[in-house]
Amino acid sequence: MSTAEIAEHQTDLNTFRAETRAWLEANCPESMRTPMPEDETVWGGRKATFKHPDAKLWLDRMASRGWTAPTWPAAYGGGGLSADENKVLQQELARIQARQPLNSFGLWMLGPALLEFASEEQKQTYLPPIIRGEIRWCQGYSEPGAGSDLAGLQTRAEDCGDHWLVNGAKIWTSYANHADWIFCLVRTEPDAPKHEGISFLLFDMASEGVSTSPIKLISGASPFCQTFFDNVKVPKGQLVGQRGKGWTIAKRLLQHERQMISGIGGNTALGGSARALENLAKHYLGEQNGQIGDALVRDKVAKHRMNDHAFRLTTARAFEEAKAGKSDGNLSAMFKYYGSEQNKRKFELMLEIMGQQGLGWEGEGFEARELDITRQWLRSKANSIEGGTSEVQLNIVAKRVLGLPD
C-alpha cells in the first residue's frame, strides 16, 4: 500500500471506530458491562434460558449487526468485517467491558469449517441460525475406547438410499444434553484405511434413537456426556463435503477448536480482563501505594500478565501470517497447549491469592464468587484433555513444527 492508501485506510478505521463506539454506547445495556458469572453465560439454542433479562436483548442487538460472527460474510448473516475492523470492534467491546453476547461451538468450531467445506445450500441453512443463537451445537468426535485416537472411531453410518442409518456412541460430548444439533464423525466405508472412509454428518439431537447420559465431574458439574445413536435416520443432504473425506474437515475443525481453547488463558472467572487478577489480589491481600500488598504475589501476577500479553501478541502475529498465506495449521497445537497451561496456572494463582477462601465447596463463610472460582479451578484441569491432550499437542509440535524424528 502507498502512503496515501495507508492514510485513507486509517481514516476509514477511525470513522468505523467512532461509529462502533457510538453504537455500543447506545445499544449495550449497562448490566451487560459487568463481569459475567458462569451461570449467566448465554449459549443460545431452542431451549435457551436467559438468567439476566438484558442478556437476550444484548444478543439480539449484536446478532442484528452480525457481530456475534463479525468476520463471517454478510450473505449468511455475519458482520462482513475485515480483520482490522474486527480488531477495532473487539477493542471497543473491551473498552466498555461488554459481556460476550453468545458462546457457541457453532461460532467457534463448526461455522468456520462450514464456510470452507459446506455447499452453498448448507451454508444458507446452518450459518444464520448459529449467528442468531437459535441452534446450539455439540461435537461428536471422541468415542469410548478410542482415547485421543479420533480416527479409530467405530460409529457407523449405513447408506440406506435416501438417508444414512447411524449406530454407535460418542463420549466427552460437551453439553450434548443441552444441544439441539450435533456435528458428528461417522464411518461410512468400514473397509477403508483408518483415516479414510470417515464422513462428516450434521443431525438433530431430537432425532429418534439419540440419547445422552451426563458424566459427573469432580467439580460437581456435568458439562460432558456420553451420547448414543440407535438406528438414527439422517437425511443424505446433511453430509458435509465428500463422502469418505470427512477426516480432512475433522482436522480443520480441530484447528479451530484448539485455537478457541488456546484463548482461555487470557480469560478469568472475574470477567475476562487481565487486570481482574490484580483486582482479586488487592481484595484479598490489601494494597500498598496502589499496588498489591504482598510483594511475592505482586511479582507472580506481573509475570502472568506478561506471559499472557506475549501469548496474545504471538497469536496475533500468527493470524497476520495466516492472512498473508503463510499459515502453519500445526501451530494451533502449540497455542492450544500453551493456552491450556496458562489457564491452569491462572487458577492456581487465584487460589493462592484467596487462601482458604478458595477451597470452599458449600455452606456459610464463602461468597458465591469464591465457590464459583473453586469449581472453575477444578474444571480447568480438563483443559489439558479436551481438544486433544497436552501430550498429543506436544507430539504434534515436536514432529510437525520442530521437525524432530519419531
Residue 267's pLDDT is what? Answer: 41
pLDDT value for 254: 75
Percent of the chain past pLDDT 70, that is, above it, reads 91
**277 and 376, same domain (yes or no):** yes
Does 342 score more than 60 pLDDT?
yes
- In a shared domain, residues 396 and 261: yes
Grid cell for residue 246: 470427512
- Asked if residue 382 and residue 327 are part of one domain, the reply reads yes
Let me know whether 159 and 224 are in one domain. yes
Q: What is the mean pLDDT of residues 341-352?
A: 92
Tell me, yes or no, whether 154 and 201 share the same domain. yes
Phi, psi of 201 (to 5 degrees): -110, 150
Residue 157: what pLDDT?
96
Report the C-alpha gap between 108 and 260 in whole angstroms: 6
Regarding whether 268 and 378 lie in a shared domain, the answer is yes
Q: pLDDT category, 322, cuts 50, 70, 90?
A: low
Establish if 108 belongs to a structural domain: no
Cell readout for 303 is 509475570
- Whether 289 and 395 map to the same domain: the answer is yes
Same domain, 222 and 362: no
Residue 333 CA neighbour count, 13 Å, CB half: 19
User: What average pLDDT does the segment 215-222 reach?
Assistant: 74
Domain count along the chain: 3
Q: Could you tell me what percent of the chain has a pLDDT over 90?
A: 53
Residues 150 and 98 in one domain: no
224-261: per-residue pLDDT in tens?
A: 899 999 999 999 999 999 999 998 898 888 776 666 66
Which of 2-11, 161-170, 309-318, 365-374 has the lowest average pLDDT? 2-11
Domain that holds residue 353: 250-401
Confidence at 9, pLDDT banded by 50, 70, 90: confident
Name the pTM for this structure: 0.77
At 310, which CATH number?
A: 1.20.140.10
Q: Does residue 40 sit within a domain?
A: yes
pLDDT value of position 270 = 34
Question: Which residues have a Cβ under 8 Å from the Cβ of 88 and sit 6 or more positions away?
Answer: 13, 16, 17, 20
From 244, 277, 298, give the residue that closes a domain: 244
**Is residue 238 located within the same domain as residue 255?**
no
Same domain, 154 and 49: no
Q: Which of 244, 265, 290 is the last residue of a domain?
A: 244
Strand (E) positions, 310-406?
none
Give the tens place of pLDDT for each residue, 56-106. 999 999 999 999 999 999 999 999 999 889 989 999 999 999 999 999 999
Q: Has residue 308 got a pLDDT over 50?
A: yes
Cβ atoms 138, 204 nearer than 8 A: no
Do 91 and 146 fall into the same domain? Answer: no
| Sole residue written with cell 444434553 | 177
For strand 137-140 and strand 181-187, is the pairing parallel, antiparallel, or unpaired? parallel
All residues at 6 or more sequence positions from 17 whose CB lies less than 8 Å from its CB, including other chains? 88, 91, 92
